[in-house]
Amino acid sequence: MIIVETKKIEELAESLAGKKKVLIVGCNGCVGIHQQGGERQAEELAELFKLDKVLKNVDTTVTSILRQCDKSIVKDALTDLAAEADAILAMACGAGVQVVAESFDIPALPAHNTSFIGVQERESETFYERCVACGNCILHLTGGICPVTRCPKSHMNGPCGGLYNGKCETDKNRDCAWILIYNRLKALGELDRLKTIMEPKDFSKKTHPRSQEA
Amino acid sequence: MAKYYSKLMESVASKEFTISGEIDPPKGSNRKVIEHQTELLKPHCVAANVTDNPLGIVIMNTLAPCVIMQEMGLEAIYQATCRDRNRIALQSDVLGAAALGMKNILALSGDHTVMGDHPQAKPVFDLDSVQLTAAIRGLVNGHDMAGKELDVAPQMHIGVALSPGLEPIEPEIIKFEKKIEAGAEFAQTQCVYDTKVLERILDLTSHLDIPILPGIAPLKSVGMAKFMAKNVPGVTIPDEMLKELVESKDIKETTINITAQLIADIKDLGFPGVHIMPVGMDAEVGEMIKRSGVR
Protein backbone atom coordinates (compact mmCIF):
# COMPACT_ATOMS: atom_id res chain seq x y z
CA MET A 1 0.00 0.00 0.00
CA ILE A 2 0.94 3.63 -0.32
CA ILE A 3 2.57 5.00 2.82
CA VAL A 4 2.48 8.73 3.55
CA GLU A 5 3.74 11.15 6.15
CA THR A 6 1.69 14.14 7.26
CA LYS A 7 3.32 17.50 6.60
CA LYS A 8 4.26 19.70 9.53
CA ILE A 9 1.50 22.10 10.63
CA GLU A 10 3.74 25.11 9.81
CA GLU A 11 4.11 23.89 6.25
CA LEU A 12 0.36 23.40 5.95
CA ALA A 13 -0.18 26.93 7.32
CA GLU A 14 2.19 28.28 4.68
CA SER A 15 0.46 26.49 1.81
CA LEU A 16 -2.98 27.56 3.08
CA ALA A 17 -2.00 31.21 3.58
CA GLY A 18 -4.90 33.52 2.67
CA LYS A 19 -7.50 30.72 2.53
CA LYS A 20 -10.57 31.28 4.68
CA LYS A 21 -12.69 28.19 4.01
CA VAL A 22 -10.84 24.90 3.71
CA LEU A 23 -12.34 21.53 2.92
CA ILE A 24 -10.26 18.81 4.60
CA VAL A 25 -10.78 15.51 2.81
CA GLY A 26 -9.67 12.19 4.24
CA CYS A 27 -9.03 9.22 1.98
CA ASN A 28 -10.22 5.81 3.19
CA GLY A 29 -8.03 3.99 0.66
CA CYS A 30 -4.44 3.03 1.50
CA VAL A 31 -3.81 5.94 3.86
CA GLY A 32 -7.11 5.38 5.65
CA ILE A 33 -6.45 1.67 6.15
CA HIS A 34 -3.09 2.54 7.71
CA GLN A 35 -4.73 5.28 9.82
CA GLN A 36 -2.58 7.95 8.24
CA GLY A 37 -5.20 9.95 6.35
CA GLY A 38 -8.66 8.48 6.86
CA GLU A 39 -11.79 9.90 8.45
CA ARG A 40 -10.42 10.05 11.98
CA GLN A 41 -7.12 11.63 10.94
CA ALA A 42 -9.02 14.27 8.95
CA GLU A 43 -10.98 15.18 12.06
CA GLU A 44 -7.82 15.23 14.16
CA LEU A 45 -6.15 17.56 11.68
CA ALA A 46 -9.08 19.98 11.91
CA GLU A 47 -8.66 19.92 15.70
CA LEU A 48 -4.96 20.72 15.29
CA PHE A 49 -5.91 23.73 13.15
CA LYS A 50 -7.77 25.14 16.17
CA LEU A 51 -4.57 25.03 18.23
CA ASP A 52 -2.44 26.81 15.62
CA LYS A 53 -2.09 30.59 15.87
CA VAL A 54 -2.62 31.09 12.09
CA LEU A 55 -4.84 28.16 11.15
CA LYS A 56 -7.31 28.72 14.03
CA ASN A 57 -8.83 31.49 11.90
CA VAL A 58 -9.57 29.11 9.03
CA ASP A 59 -13.12 27.83 8.71
CA THR A 60 -12.84 24.06 8.15
CA THR A 61 -15.25 21.47 6.85
CA VAL A 62 -14.22 17.83 7.26
CA THR A 63 -15.23 14.84 5.20
CA SER A 64 -13.70 11.64 3.93
CA ILE A 65 -14.30 9.52 0.84
CA LEU A 66 -13.78 5.93 -0.26
CA ARG A 67 -10.66 6.77 -2.29
CA GLN A 68 -9.31 9.92 -3.88
CA CYS A 69 -7.59 8.25 -6.84
CA ASP A 70 -11.00 7.64 -8.50
CA LYS A 71 -12.32 10.73 -10.26
CA SER A 72 -15.99 9.66 -10.30
CA ILE A 73 -15.95 9.02 -6.54
CA VAL A 74 -14.21 12.37 -5.97
CA LYS A 75 -16.73 14.30 -8.11
CA ASP A 76 -19.83 12.57 -6.68
CA ALA A 77 -18.72 13.04 -3.09
CA LEU A 78 -17.11 16.47 -3.14
CA THR A 79 -18.77 18.69 -5.78
CA ASP A 80 -21.27 20.34 -3.41
CA LEU A 81 -18.75 20.76 -0.58
CA ALA A 82 -16.07 22.13 -2.91
CA ALA A 83 -18.45 24.84 -4.12
CA GLU A 84 -18.43 26.27 -0.57
CA ALA A 85 -14.62 26.23 -0.09
CA ASP A 86 -11.54 28.30 -1.09
CA ALA A 87 -9.26 25.29 -1.10
CA ILE A 88 -9.20 21.55 -0.52
CA LEU A 89 -6.64 19.94 1.75
CA ALA A 90 -6.40 16.41 0.39
CA MET A 91 -5.19 13.76 2.83
CA ALA A 92 -4.38 11.26 0.09
CA CYS A 93 -1.22 10.13 -1.63
CA GLY A 94 0.20 12.30 -4.41
CA ALA A 95 -1.96 10.52 -6.98
CA GLY A 96 -5.14 11.21 -5.02
CA VAL A 97 -4.27 14.88 -4.54
CA GLN A 98 -3.83 15.25 -8.30
CA VAL A 99 -7.21 13.68 -9.06
CA VAL A 100 -8.85 16.10 -6.62
CA ALA A 101 -6.88 19.00 -8.14
CA GLU A 102 -8.05 18.27 -11.67
CA SER A 103 -11.67 17.78 -10.56
CA PHE A 104 -12.38 21.29 -9.26
CA ASP A 105 -11.56 24.92 -10.02
CA ILE A 106 -10.20 25.66 -6.54
CA PRO A 107 -6.69 24.67 -5.40
CA ALA A 108 -6.19 21.17 -3.99
CA LEU A 109 -3.20 21.01 -1.63
CA PRO A 110 -1.38 17.97 -0.26
CA ALA A 111 -1.61 17.28 3.46
CA HIS A 112 1.01 14.57 3.14
CA ASN A 113 4.35 13.79 1.68
CA THR A 114 3.97 10.51 -0.19
CA SER A 115 6.65 8.17 1.11
CA PHE A 116 6.58 4.82 -0.66
CA ILE A 117 4.80 1.58 -1.49
CA GLY A 118 5.23 -0.46 1.63
CA VAL A 119 3.96 -2.64 4.40
CA GLN A 120 3.35 -2.15 8.09
CA GLU A 121 5.06 -4.24 10.70
CA ARG A 122 2.61 -4.37 13.57
CA GLU A 123 5.07 -5.18 16.35
CA SER A 124 7.40 -2.24 15.70
CA GLU A 125 4.62 0.01 14.36
CA THR A 126 6.91 0.85 11.46
CA PHE A 127 6.24 1.09 7.74
CA TYR A 128 8.78 -0.44 5.39
CA GLU A 129 9.24 0.25 1.68
CA ARG A 130 8.89 -2.92 -0.36
CA CYS A 131 8.34 -1.93 -4.01
CA VAL A 132 9.57 0.92 -6.21
CA ALA A 133 7.24 -0.03 -9.08
CA CYS A 134 10.18 -0.59 -11.41
CA GLY A 135 7.97 -2.10 -14.08
CA ASN A 136 9.91 -5.34 -14.40
CA CYS A 137 9.36 -7.65 -11.42
CA ILE A 138 12.12 -10.15 -10.63
CA LEU A 139 10.80 -11.46 -7.30
CA HIS A 140 10.57 -14.97 -8.77
CA LEU A 141 14.37 -14.94 -9.10
CA THR A 142 15.24 -13.47 -5.73
CA GLY A 143 13.30 -15.53 -3.22
CA GLY A 144 10.48 -13.01 -3.04
CA ILE A 145 12.76 -10.24 -1.74
CA CYS A 146 13.18 -7.18 -3.96
CA PRO A 147 16.80 -5.99 -4.36
CA VAL A 148 15.72 -3.04 -6.48
CA THR A 149 13.84 -1.64 -3.49
CA ARG A 150 15.62 -3.10 -0.51
CA CYS A 151 19.23 -2.58 -1.64
CA PRO A 152 19.89 1.19 -1.56
CA LYS A 153 22.10 0.70 -4.63
CA SER A 154 19.51 -1.52 -6.33
CA HIS A 155 22.26 -4.02 -7.03
CA MET A 156 21.23 -7.01 -9.08
CA ASN A 157 24.09 -9.46 -8.57
CA GLY A 158 24.81 -9.77 -4.88
CA PRO A 159 26.00 -7.75 -1.90
CA CYS A 160 28.46 -4.88 -2.22
CA GLY A 161 31.59 -4.41 -0.09
CA GLY A 162 29.62 -2.23 2.32
CA LEU A 163 28.03 -5.29 3.90
CA TYR A 164 28.73 -5.30 7.64
CA ASN A 165 27.44 -7.98 10.02
CA GLY A 166 24.56 -8.63 7.63
CA LYS A 167 23.66 -4.94 7.61
CA CYS A 168 23.92 -2.17 5.03
CA GLU A 169 26.61 0.52 4.82
CA THR A 170 23.89 3.17 4.65
CA ASP A 171 22.28 2.21 7.97
CA LYS A 172 23.54 -0.22 10.59
CA ASN A 173 19.95 -1.19 11.41
CA ARG A 174 19.05 -1.98 7.79
CA ASP A 175 19.35 -5.60 6.69
CA CYS A 176 21.46 -6.18 3.59
CA ALA A 177 18.89 -7.19 0.98
CA TRP A 178 21.35 -9.56 -0.65
CA ILE A 179 22.03 -11.44 2.58
CA LEU A 180 18.26 -11.81 3.03
CA ILE A 181 18.04 -13.07 -0.55
CA TYR A 182 21.02 -15.39 -0.07
CA ASN A 183 19.53 -16.89 3.10
CA ARG A 184 16.11 -17.29 1.52
CA LEU A 185 17.39 -18.89 -1.68
CA LYS A 186 19.55 -21.22 0.37
CA ALA A 187 16.55 -22.26 2.46
CA LEU A 188 14.51 -22.81 -0.71
CA GLY A 189 17.30 -24.89 -2.26
CA GLU A 190 17.56 -22.32 -5.06
CA LEU A 191 21.03 -20.87 -4.40
CA ASP A 192 22.00 -21.57 -8.01
CA ARG A 193 19.84 -18.61 -9.00
CA LEU A 194 22.44 -16.36 -7.40
CA LYS A 195 25.07 -17.69 -9.78
CA THR A 196 23.42 -16.37 -12.93
CA ILE A 197 24.44 -12.87 -13.97
CA MET A 198 21.43 -10.59 -13.92
CA GLU A 199 21.40 -8.16 -16.82
CA PRO A 200 21.09 -4.39 -16.27
CA LYS A 201 17.54 -3.26 -15.73
CA ASP A 202 15.59 -1.68 -18.56
CA PHE A 203 14.82 1.77 -17.17
CA SER A 204 12.93 2.74 -20.31
CA LYS A 205 10.06 0.82 -18.68
CA LYS A 206 10.20 3.33 -15.84
CA THR A 207 10.06 6.50 -17.91
CA HIS A 208 7.47 8.59 -16.14
CA PRO A 209 4.67 9.45 -16.33
CA ARG A 210 3.65 5.91 -17.19
CA SER A 211 0.25 4.78 -18.44
CA GLN A 212 -1.37 1.42 -18.95
CA GLU A 213 -4.68 0.31 -20.42
CA ALA A 214 -7.09 -0.78 -17.71
CA MET B 1 51.92 -15.83 -24.76
CA ALA B 2 48.91 -13.64 -24.22
CA LYS B 3 49.30 -10.02 -25.13
CA TYR B 4 49.12 -7.49 -22.33
CA TYR B 5 48.41 -3.82 -22.75
CA SER B 6 49.64 -2.79 -19.31
CA LYS B 7 52.78 -3.08 -17.22
CA LEU B 8 50.59 -4.24 -14.34
CA MET B 9 49.38 -7.30 -16.21
CA GLU B 10 52.79 -7.94 -17.74
CA SER B 11 54.27 -7.91 -14.26
CA VAL B 12 51.68 -10.37 -12.94
CA ALA B 13 52.17 -12.64 -15.96
CA SER B 14 55.96 -12.57 -15.51
CA LYS B 15 55.45 -14.07 -12.01
CA GLU B 16 57.28 -11.10 -10.55
CA PHE B 17 55.81 -10.08 -7.14
CA THR B 18 53.61 -7.22 -8.32
CA ILE B 19 53.06 -4.12 -6.21
CA SER B 20 50.34 -1.60 -6.96
CA GLY B 21 49.88 1.61 -5.03
CA GLU B 22 47.14 4.15 -4.65
CA ILE B 23 46.86 7.89 -5.22
CA ASP B 24 44.37 9.99 -3.26
CA PRO B 25 43.24 12.98 -5.33
CA PRO B 26 43.00 16.26 -3.39
CA LYS B 27 39.89 18.21 -2.45
CA GLY B 28 40.78 20.93 -4.87
CA SER B 29 42.61 21.38 -8.14
CA ASN B 30 46.11 21.12 -6.72
CA ARG B 31 48.01 18.98 -9.22
CA LYS B 32 51.13 19.16 -7.05
CA VAL B 33 49.46 16.69 -4.66
CA ILE B 34 49.26 14.18 -7.49
CA GLU B 35 52.79 14.92 -8.65
CA HIS B 36 54.16 14.50 -5.14
CA GLN B 37 52.46 11.13 -4.52
CA THR B 38 53.51 9.97 -8.00
CA GLU B 39 57.16 10.79 -7.33
CA LEU B 40 57.06 8.87 -4.06
CA LEU B 41 55.31 5.77 -5.42
CA LYS B 42 56.87 5.54 -8.89
CA PRO B 43 60.13 3.85 -7.82
CA HIS B 44 58.26 1.13 -5.90
CA CYS B 45 54.96 0.40 -7.66
CA VAL B 46 54.33 -0.92 -11.15
CA ALA B 47 51.03 0.97 -11.21
CA ALA B 48 48.75 2.90 -8.89
CA ASN B 49 45.00 3.24 -8.51
CA VAL B 50 43.27 6.58 -8.49
CA THR B 51 40.18 6.56 -6.31
CA ASP B 52 36.78 7.76 -7.54
CA ASN B 53 35.40 10.07 -4.86
CA PRO B 54 35.55 7.46 -2.08
CA LEU B 55 32.63 7.61 0.37
CA GLY B 56 31.00 10.00 -2.08
CA ILE B 57 33.18 12.87 -0.86
CA VAL B 58 33.82 15.40 -3.61
CA ILE B 59 37.49 15.50 -4.60
CA MET B 60 39.34 15.80 -7.91
CA ASN B 61 38.03 13.31 -10.45
CA THR B 62 39.83 10.11 -11.38
CA LEU B 63 40.92 10.74 -14.93
CA ALA B 64 42.95 13.94 -14.42
CA PRO B 65 45.34 12.39 -11.86
CA CYS B 66 45.59 9.28 -14.08
CA VAL B 67 46.78 11.44 -16.97
CA ILE B 68 49.20 13.44 -14.78
CA MET B 69 50.83 10.34 -13.29
CA GLN B 70 51.14 8.57 -16.64
CA GLU B 71 52.84 11.68 -18.06
CA MET B 72 55.28 11.30 -15.17
CA GLY B 73 55.83 7.62 -15.92
CA LEU B 74 53.65 5.84 -13.35
CA GLU B 75 50.99 3.62 -14.87
CA ALA B 76 47.44 4.30 -13.71
CA ILE B 77 44.65 2.01 -12.61
CA TYR B 78 41.55 4.05 -13.34
CA GLN B 79 38.80 3.41 -10.79
CA ALA B 80 35.25 3.69 -12.05
CA THR B 81 32.24 3.47 -9.76
CA CYS B 82 28.55 3.12 -10.52
CA ARG B 83 27.44 5.73 -7.98
CA ASP B 84 27.55 8.87 -10.09
CA ARG B 85 27.24 7.77 -13.70
CA ASN B 86 24.69 5.87 -15.71
CA ARG B 87 25.65 3.37 -18.41
CA ILE B 88 25.98 6.13 -21.01
CA ALA B 89 28.42 8.20 -18.95
CA LEU B 90 30.39 5.16 -17.74
CA GLN B 91 30.96 3.82 -21.25
CA SER B 92 31.75 7.27 -22.59
CA ASP B 93 34.30 7.85 -19.81
CA VAL B 94 35.97 4.51 -20.53
CA LEU B 95 36.32 5.40 -24.21
CA GLY B 96 37.82 8.77 -23.30
CA ALA B 97 40.15 7.26 -20.69
CA ALA B 98 41.45 4.78 -23.27
CA ALA B 99 42.06 7.60 -25.76
CA LEU B 100 44.17 9.28 -23.06
CA GLY B 101 46.24 6.13 -22.62
CA MET B 102 44.64 4.31 -19.70
CA LYS B 103 45.39 0.59 -19.75
CA ASN B 104 43.85 -0.62 -16.48
CA ILE B 105 40.44 -0.01 -15.04
CA LEU B 106 38.97 -1.12 -11.72
CA ALA B 107 35.19 -1.60 -11.90
CA LEU B 108 33.51 -0.86 -8.55
CA SER B 109 30.05 -0.33 -7.13
CA GLY B 110 31.06 2.77 -5.20
CA ASP B 111 30.06 3.88 -1.74
CA HIS B 112 26.51 5.16 -1.37
CA THR B 113 25.94 8.91 -1.63
CA VAL B 114 24.59 9.12 1.94
CA MET B 115 28.06 8.21 3.28
CA GLY B 116 29.78 11.37 2.03
CA ASP B 117 29.76 15.14 2.17
CA HIS B 118 26.94 15.55 -0.37
CA PRO B 119 24.33 13.17 1.07
CA GLN B 120 21.57 15.07 -0.74
CA ALA B 121 22.92 13.94 -4.14
CA LYS B 122 20.88 11.60 -6.31
CA PRO B 123 22.56 8.18 -6.33
CA VAL B 124 22.70 6.67 -9.82
CA PHE B 125 23.57 2.95 -9.58
CA ASP B 126 22.21 2.27 -13.06
CA LEU B 127 24.63 -0.69 -13.17
CA ASP B 128 26.30 -2.78 -10.49
CA SER B 129 29.95 -3.84 -10.53
CA VAL B 130 29.24 -7.14 -12.31
CA GLN B 131 27.27 -5.36 -15.02
CA LEU B 132 29.92 -2.62 -15.31
CA THR B 133 32.59 -5.29 -15.74
CA ALA B 134 30.54 -6.86 -18.54
CA ALA B 135 29.99 -3.45 -20.15
CA ILE B 136 33.73 -2.67 -20.18
CA ARG B 137 34.45 -6.15 -21.54
CA GLY B 138 32.02 -5.38 -24.35
CA LEU B 139 33.82 -2.11 -25.12
CA VAL B 140 37.19 -3.88 -25.17
CA ASN B 141 35.63 -6.42 -27.53
CA GLY B 142 34.58 -3.57 -29.82
CA HIS B 143 30.96 -2.81 -29.07
CA ASP B 144 28.91 -0.77 -26.62
CA MET B 145 26.03 -2.05 -24.48
CA ALA B 146 23.61 -1.37 -27.31
CA GLY B 147 25.71 -3.62 -29.56
CA LYS B 148 26.96 -0.73 -31.69
CA GLU B 149 30.42 -1.14 -33.14
CA LEU B 150 33.23 1.14 -31.92
CA ASP B 151 35.73 3.07 -34.03
CA VAL B 152 38.81 1.70 -32.21
CA ALA B 153 38.04 -0.35 -29.12
CA PRO B 154 39.71 0.57 -25.82
CA GLN B 155 42.68 -1.63 -24.95
CA MET B 156 42.32 -2.12 -21.22
CA HIS B 157 42.59 -4.72 -18.52
CA ILE B 158 39.65 -4.95 -16.18
CA GLY B 159 40.09 -5.31 -12.45
CA VAL B 160 37.50 -5.89 -9.76
CA ALA B 161 37.31 -5.77 -5.97
CA LEU B 162 37.02 -8.64 -3.55
CA SER B 163 36.19 -8.35 0.17
CA PRO B 164 37.92 -11.30 1.83
CA GLY B 165 36.62 -10.68 5.34
CA LEU B 166 32.89 -10.43 4.67
CA GLU B 167 30.50 -12.66 6.60
CA PRO B 168 28.90 -14.68 5.22
CA ILE B 169 31.57 -14.99 2.53
CA GLU B 170 29.68 -17.30 0.15
CA PRO B 171 27.58 -14.59 -1.61
CA GLU B 172 30.78 -12.52 -2.05
CA ILE B 173 32.52 -15.48 -3.68
CA ILE B 174 29.51 -16.11 -5.94
CA LYS B 175 29.58 -12.45 -6.97
CA PHE B 176 33.34 -12.65 -7.55
CA GLU B 177 32.79 -15.65 -9.83
CA LYS B 178 30.25 -13.59 -11.78
CA LYS B 179 32.73 -10.72 -12.12
CA ILE B 180 35.24 -13.15 -13.63
CA GLU B 181 32.58 -14.59 -15.92
CA ALA B 182 31.77 -11.01 -16.97
CA GLY B 183 35.39 -10.40 -17.98
CA ALA B 184 37.52 -9.43 -14.97
CA GLU B 185 41.24 -10.11 -15.35
CA PHE B 186 42.68 -9.08 -12.00
CA ALA B 187 41.43 -8.36 -8.51
CA GLN B 188 42.42 -6.15 -5.63
CA THR B 189 40.96 -6.68 -2.19
CA GLN B 190 39.72 -4.53 0.64
CA CYS B 191 42.23 -4.10 3.48
CA VAL B 192 43.35 -7.34 5.10
CA TYR B 193 45.49 -7.60 8.23
CA ASP B 194 44.80 -11.16 9.28
CA THR B 195 46.70 -14.00 7.62
CA LYS B 196 43.84 -16.37 8.53
CA VAL B 197 41.53 -14.26 6.34
CA LEU B 198 44.12 -14.37 3.56
CA GLU B 199 44.44 -18.15 3.84
CA ARG B 200 40.68 -18.54 3.71
CA ILE B 201 40.34 -16.43 0.57
CA LEU B 202 43.13 -18.37 -1.15
CA ASP B 203 41.26 -21.54 -0.38
CA LEU B 204 37.88 -20.22 -1.49
CA THR B 205 39.24 -18.88 -4.79
CA SER B 206 41.61 -21.75 -5.61
CA HIS B 207 39.29 -22.86 -8.46
CA LEU B 208 39.47 -19.42 -10.08
CA ASP B 209 42.14 -18.37 -12.55
CA ILE B 210 42.65 -14.72 -11.67
CA PRO B 211 45.50 -12.84 -9.95
CA ILE B 212 44.40 -11.43 -6.59
CA LEU B 213 46.40 -8.62 -5.00
CA PRO B 214 45.45 -8.33 -1.32
CA GLY B 215 44.97 -4.74 -0.20
CA ILE B 216 46.77 -3.31 2.78
CA ALA B 217 46.84 0.13 4.36
CA PRO B 218 49.47 0.88 7.00
CA LEU B 219 47.97 1.06 10.50
CA LYS B 220 49.29 4.47 11.50
CA SER B 221 47.98 4.47 15.06
CA VAL B 222 46.08 2.46 17.64
CA GLY B 223 43.11 4.72 16.93
CA MET B 224 43.18 3.92 13.21
CA ALA B 225 43.42 0.19 13.91
CA LYS B 226 40.45 0.28 16.27
CA PHE B 227 38.47 2.47 13.88
CA MET B 228 39.13 0.12 10.95
CA ALA B 229 38.16 -2.95 12.96
CA LYS B 230 34.97 -1.29 14.15
CA ASN B 231 33.83 0.50 11.01
CA VAL B 232 35.31 -1.05 7.89
CA PRO B 233 33.32 -4.04 6.66
CA GLY B 234 35.23 -7.30 6.90
CA VAL B 235 38.34 -5.88 8.57
CA THR B 236 39.72 -7.71 11.59
CA ILE B 237 42.97 -6.76 13.32
CA PRO B 238 44.78 -9.66 15.02
CA ASP B 239 45.32 -9.14 18.76
CA GLU B 240 49.12 -9.42 18.49
CA MET B 241 49.17 -6.67 15.86
CA LEU B 242 47.08 -4.39 18.05
CA LYS B 243 49.31 -5.18 21.02
CA GLU B 244 52.40 -4.27 19.01
CA LEU B 245 50.86 -0.89 18.19
CA VAL B 246 49.70 -0.25 21.76
CA GLU B 247 53.14 -1.04 23.21
CA SER B 248 55.09 0.81 20.54
CA LYS B 249 57.68 3.40 21.59
CA ASP B 250 58.06 4.59 17.99
CA ILE B 251 54.73 4.29 16.20
CA LYS B 252 56.02 5.10 12.72
CA GLU B 253 58.73 2.47 13.01
CA THR B 254 56.20 -0.09 14.27
CA THR B 255 53.78 0.73 11.44
CA ILE B 256 56.50 0.23 8.84
CA ASN B 257 57.51 -3.09 10.41
CA ILE B 258 53.94 -4.40 10.68
CA THR B 259 53.25 -3.46 7.07
CA ALA B 260 56.51 -5.00 5.90
CA GLN B 261 55.65 -8.24 7.70
CA LEU B 262 52.20 -8.26 6.06
CA ILE B 263 53.75 -7.81 2.62
CA ALA B 264 56.15 -10.67 3.33
CA ASP B 265 53.28 -12.88 4.59
CA ILE B 266 51.24 -12.13 1.48
CA LYS B 267 54.12 -13.23 -0.72
CA ASP B 268 54.80 -16.33 1.38
CA LEU B 269 51.16 -17.38 1.11
CA GLY B 270 51.58 -17.38 -2.66
CA PHE B 271 49.68 -14.29 -3.75
CA PRO B 272 51.06 -12.76 -6.97
CA GLY B 273 51.41 -9.33 -5.45
CA VAL B 274 50.04 -6.74 -3.09
CA HIS B 275 48.03 -3.55 -3.36
CA ILE B 276 49.33 -0.86 -0.97
CA MET B 277 47.06 2.02 -0.02
CA PRO B 278 49.57 4.38 1.65
CA VAL B 279 46.95 6.62 3.37
CA GLY B 280 49.48 9.42 3.70
CA MET B 281 52.56 7.25 4.26
CA ASP B 282 53.63 7.44 0.61
CA ALA B 283 57.16 8.41 1.64
CA GLU B 284 57.53 5.20 3.66
CA VAL B 285 56.24 2.76 1.03
CA GLY B 286 59.77 2.11 -0.26
CA GLU B 287 61.02 1.28 3.24
CA MET B 288 58.05 -1.05 3.89
CA ILE B 289 58.83 -2.99 0.72
CA LYS B 290 62.56 -3.05 1.46
CA ARG B 291 62.05 -4.44 4.97
CA SER B 292 59.57 -7.04 3.68
CA GLY B 293 62.36 -8.61 1.66
CA VAL B 294 60.02 -9.42 -1.24
CA ARG B 295 62.51 -7.90 -3.66
Phi/psi of residue A203, nearest 5 degrees: -80, -5
Q: Is B233 on the interface with A (CB under 8 A)?
A: yes
State the Cα–Cα distance between residues B189 and B241, nearest whole angstrom. Answer: 20
The verdict on A35 and A82 lying in the same domain is yes
The verdict on A94 and A7 lying in the same domain is yes
Report the CATH number that the domain containing residue B277 is assigned in CATH. 3.20.20.220
Searching chain A, which residue's CA lies closest to the CA of residue B127?
A200
Give A155's contacts in chain B (Cβ within 8 Å): 109, 125, 128
Residues comprising chain B, all counted: 295
The verdict on A183 and A138 lying in the same domain is yes
Domains in chain A: how many in total? 2
Searching chain B, which residue's CA lies closest to the CA of residue A198?
B131
Q: How many CA atoms lie within 13 A of B79 on its CB side?
A: 27
State the Cα–Cα distance between residues A155 and A145, nearest whole angstrom. Answer: 13
| Residue A121 counted as domain residue | no
The verdict on A76 and A20 lying in the same domain is yes
Across the beta sheet with A2-6, the strand order is A2-6, A112-121, A126-131
| Residue A32 counted as domain residue | yes
State the Cα–Cα distance between residues B213 and B263, nearest whole angstrom. Answer: 11
| Residue B38 counted as domain residue | yes
Measured from the Cβ of residue B30, the count of other Cβ atoms closer than 10 Å reads 12
What is the span of the domain harbouring residue B88?
A: 7-292
Q: What is the pLDDT of residues B27-72, one digit of tens each?
A: 999 999 999 999 999 999 999 999 999 999 999 999 999 999 999 9
Window 157-216 of B, Cβ < 8 Å to A: 161, 163, 166-168, 170-172, 174-175, 177-178, 181-182, 190
Give B87's contacts in chain A (Cβ within 8 Å): 200
Contact B281, B220 (CB under 8 A): yes
Q: Do A182 and B171 touch (CB under 8 A)?
A: yes
User: How distant is the Cα of A154 from the closest Cα of chain B, in angstroms?
Assistant: 7
| Residue B60 counted as domain residue | yes
The band of B231, judged by pLDDT with boundaries at 50, 70 and 90, is confident
State the Cα–Cα distance between residues B58 and A73, nearest whole angstrom. Answer: 50
The band of B111, judged by pLDDT with boundaries at 50, 70 and 90, is very high
State the Cα–Cα distance between residues A35 and A38, nearest whole angstrom. Answer: 6
| Residue B1 counted as domain residue | no
Is the confidence at residue A205, as pLDDT, over 90? no
Searching chain B, which residue's CA lies closest to the CA of residue A155?
B128
Give B129's contacts in chain A (Cβ within 8 Å): 157, 160
Residues 6+ away with beta carbon under 8 Å from B160: B106, B107, B108, B129, B133, B176, B179, B180, B184, B186, B187
| Residue B154 counted as domain residue | yes
Report the CATH number that the domain containing residue A50 is assigned in CATH. 3.40.50
Which among B82, B177, B182 has CB closest to A195? Answer: B177
Q: ipTM of this predicted complex?
A: 0.94
Domains in chain B: how many in total? 1
Q: How many CA atoms lie within 13 A of A198 on its CB side?
A: 25
Q: Please classify residue B279 by burial: count the beta carbons closer than 10 Å to its beta carbon, then call 0-12 exposed, 13-18 middle and 19+ buried.
A: middle
Q: Is B115 on the interface with A (CB under 8 A)?
A: yes
Q: Do A165 and B167 touch (CB under 8 A)?
A: yes
Which among A155, A165, A195 has CB closest to B109? Answer: A155
Task: List the one residue out of A194, A177, A141 whose CA is nearest residue B170.
Answer: A194
| Residue B12 counted as domain residue | yes
Q: What value, to the nearest 5°, has the Cα angle with vertex B140 and ends B134 and B145?
A: 50
Q: Which of A148, A153, A198 to mutate to test the interface with B (most CBs of B within 10 A)?
A: A153
| Residue A106 counted as domain residue | yes
Is the confidence at residue B1, as pLDDT, over 60? no
State the Cα–Cα distance between residues B195 and A125, nearest whole angstrom. Answer: 45
What is the span of the domain harbouring residue A44?
A: 2-116
B125-151: average pLDDT: 98
Q: Do A152 and B234 touch (CB under 8 A)?
A: no
The verdict on A78 and A169 lying in the same domain is no
The verdict on A23 and A81 lying in the same domain is yes
The verdict on A99 and A136 lying in the same domain is no
| Residue B212 counted as domain residue | yes
The verdict on A14 and A45 lying in the same domain is yes
Please report the pLDDT score of residue B59 as a whole number.
Answer: 98
Please report the pLDDT score of residue B2 as a whole number.
Answer: 66
| Residue A206 counted as domain residue | no
Q: What is the pLDDT of residues B245-291, one digit of tens each?
A: 999 999 999 999 999 999 999 999 999 999 999 999 999 999 999 99
Domain boundary among A82, A116, A150: A116
The verdict on A100 and A158 lying in the same domain is no
Which among B128, B178, B182 has CB closest to A153? Answer: B128
On average, the pLDDT of chain A sits at 95
| Residue B249 counted as domain residue | yes
| Residue B164 counted as domain residue | yes
Phi/psi of residue B131, nearest 5 degrees: -70, -35
Q: How many helices (H) does chain B have, and how many strands (E)? A: 11, 8
Domain boundary among A86, A116, A146: A116
Contact B272, B17 (CB under 8 A): yes
Which has the higher per-residue pLDDT, B75 or A135?
B75
| Residue A210 counted as domain residue | no
Q: Is A153 on the interface with B (CB under 8 A)?
A: yes
Domain boundary among A88, A116, A144: A116
Phi/psi of residue B191, nearest 5 degrees: -55, 135
Searching chain A, which residue's CA lies closest to the CA of residue B175?
A158
User: How distant is the Cα of A47 from the closest Cα of chain B, in angstroms?
Assistant: 35
Give B182's contacts in chain A (Cβ within 8 Å): 197
Q: Which of A17-21, A121-125, A209-213 is predicted least confidently?
A: A121-125
Searching chain A, which residue's CA lies closest to the CA of residue B135?
A200
Please report the pLDDT score of residue A159 as a whole number.
Answer: 97
The verdict on A11 and A53 lying in the same domain is yes
Q: Which of B131, B144, B208 to mutate to test the interface with A (most CBs of A within 10 A)?
A: B131
